[in-house]
Amino acid sequence: MLSSIQFALKFLKYKIFAKHKKGHGIHSPFVFDLINNVFKDRKVDNDLAKIFLLHHKYKHSKQALIFDEKGAGTHQQTKSKLKSRNNQNIQKISTTEGKIIRNSSVTKKYGALIYRLVKYFNPENILEIGTSVGISTLYIAQGAPESKFTTIEGVEEKIQIARKLTRAEHLQNIEFICNDFDSGIPKILKKFNTLDFIFFDGNHTQEATESYFHLCLKKAHNNSVFIFDDIHWSSDMERAWNTIKKHEKVSVSIDLFRLGILFFKPEITKGHYKIKF
Ligand SMILES: C[S@@+](CC[C@H](N)C(=O)[O-])C[C@H]1O[C@@H](n2cnc3c(N)ncnc32)[C@H](O)[C@@H]1O
């Protein structure tokens, strides 16, 4: 994980040098349409407003939660109380629902973007890697209530909260899988012929991120959309993003600083865009 100062400097550089907020200078009609129909859209419809309310409510929840940490940690997680157990690589986290959401879930701005992307592309089969307590799950499921949506998380205590949140919104199209990614993802992939939309948001190491990308690529088709969270969160994640976006099957990559989006359409001109969002 980068220090706060390193991260702030990177963000500042992105804010100064990233362009195309309004689509000016973009020659790809596909990317131009995406900017104008999705990235620039700030309308909040009733469904999104309901998710915002629930997100806001749980962001302040003081409900205690104790669990064994999985993966490479999350934003500011080092501020939580971490204890090594028997010197093994397992860390006991004692926190609250609200803190988890504030430290590691998508923010309202990016949650809304994911909701709009899902609505725009209308995917049939969706996978989310890293449910946590279900905030991004809510945005995805609300955007595509008719889809077949599977989400995987290694911590049972978090999945229970995610179930509670999605039940509150009467979202019934979600299959929650509690499993380690390394053994769980291959099992999930066997159930799908193809995947249309994948949100990668867990185990932020270069090795794991690249490995999940290669596994999921086997189920991608020309219209699939892959979204990676936290692409500039650490040097490891930046290396993963820089490697993945250059894969021969990727036609367009979009860097929005927090999120990285990949498309695989062979008919569109290849390009790597850094877009101010
Ligand atoms: C950044 S959080 C996901 C946040 C969520 N997508 C959201 O925006 O609300 C990443 C999650 O991945 C889980 N995770 C990390 N490594 C894992 C692994 N190897 N197996 C299973 N779960 C893992 C963590 O427990 C954590 O809840």
Task: Tell me the pLDDT band of 146, cut-offs 50, 70 and 90.
Answer: very high
Q: Is 100 in the pocket of ligand 1 (CB under 6 A)?
A: no
More confident of the two residues 51 and 2: 51
151 C-beta closer than 6 A to ligand 1: no
- Nearest residue (by CA) to ligand 1, atom 20, is 180
Please write the tens of the pLDDT for every residue from 177-221.
999 999 999 999 999 999 999 999 999 999 999 999 999 999 999
Give 176: exposed, middle or buried? Use CB within 10 Å, 0-12, 13-18, 19+. Answer: buried
Per-residue pLDDT, 73: 63
Residue 162 and residue 95: Cα distance in Å, rounded?
16
pLDDT in tens, 245-255: 999 999 999 99
pLDDT value of position 82: 45
Which domains does the chain possess? 4-53+104-274 (3.40.50.150), 64-102 (no CATH)
Substitution candidate for ligand 1 out of 59, 104, 109, 150 with most atoms within 8 A of CB? 104
Model pLDDT for residues 14-47, shown as the tens digit of each residue:
888 888 777 778 889 999 999 999 999 999 999 9
Give CA separation, 62 vs 96, 193, 229, in Å: 5, 41, 26
CA 203 / ligand 1 centre spacing (Å): 6
Q: Is the CB of 130 under 6 A from ligand 1?
A: yes
Confidence of residue 90 (pLDDT cuts 50, 70, 90): low
How remote is the CA of residue 270 from the centroid of ligand 1, in Å? 31
What does each C-alpha distance from 205 to 14, 33, 236, 238, 245 come to in angstroms? 22, 32, 6, 10, 16
- The pLDDT of 82-102, averaged and rounded, is 74
Distance 92 CA to ligand 1 centre (A): 15
Question: DSSP of 92-117, one letter per residue?
Answer: EEEEEHHHHHHHHSPPHHHHHHHHHH
Of the listed ranges 1-5, 159-163, 208-212, 247-251, the one predicted with least confidence: 1-5
Helix axes 156-168, 46-59, angle to 10 degrees: 140
According to the model, what pLDDT value does residue 196 have?
98
Measured CA distances, 194 to 83, 201, 260, 269 (Å): 41, 20, 21, 23
**Which residues lie across from 260 on neighbouring strands?**
228, 255
Q: How far apart are CA 268 and CA 57, in angstroms?
A: 42
Give the pLDDT mean for 140-146: 97
CA of 126 to the centre of ligand 1 (A): 16
- Identify the pLDDT of residue 9: 87
Residue with tokens 């889809």: 147
Residue nearest to atom 26 of ligand 1 (CA): 132
Q: What is the pLDDT of residues 218-231, one digit of tens each?
A: 999 999 999 999 99
51-85 pLDDT tens trace:
999 999 999 999 999 999 887 765 444 444 444 44
Give the Å distance between the CA of 162 and the centre of ligand 1: 12
Q: Is the CB of 105 under 6 A from ligand 1?
A: yes
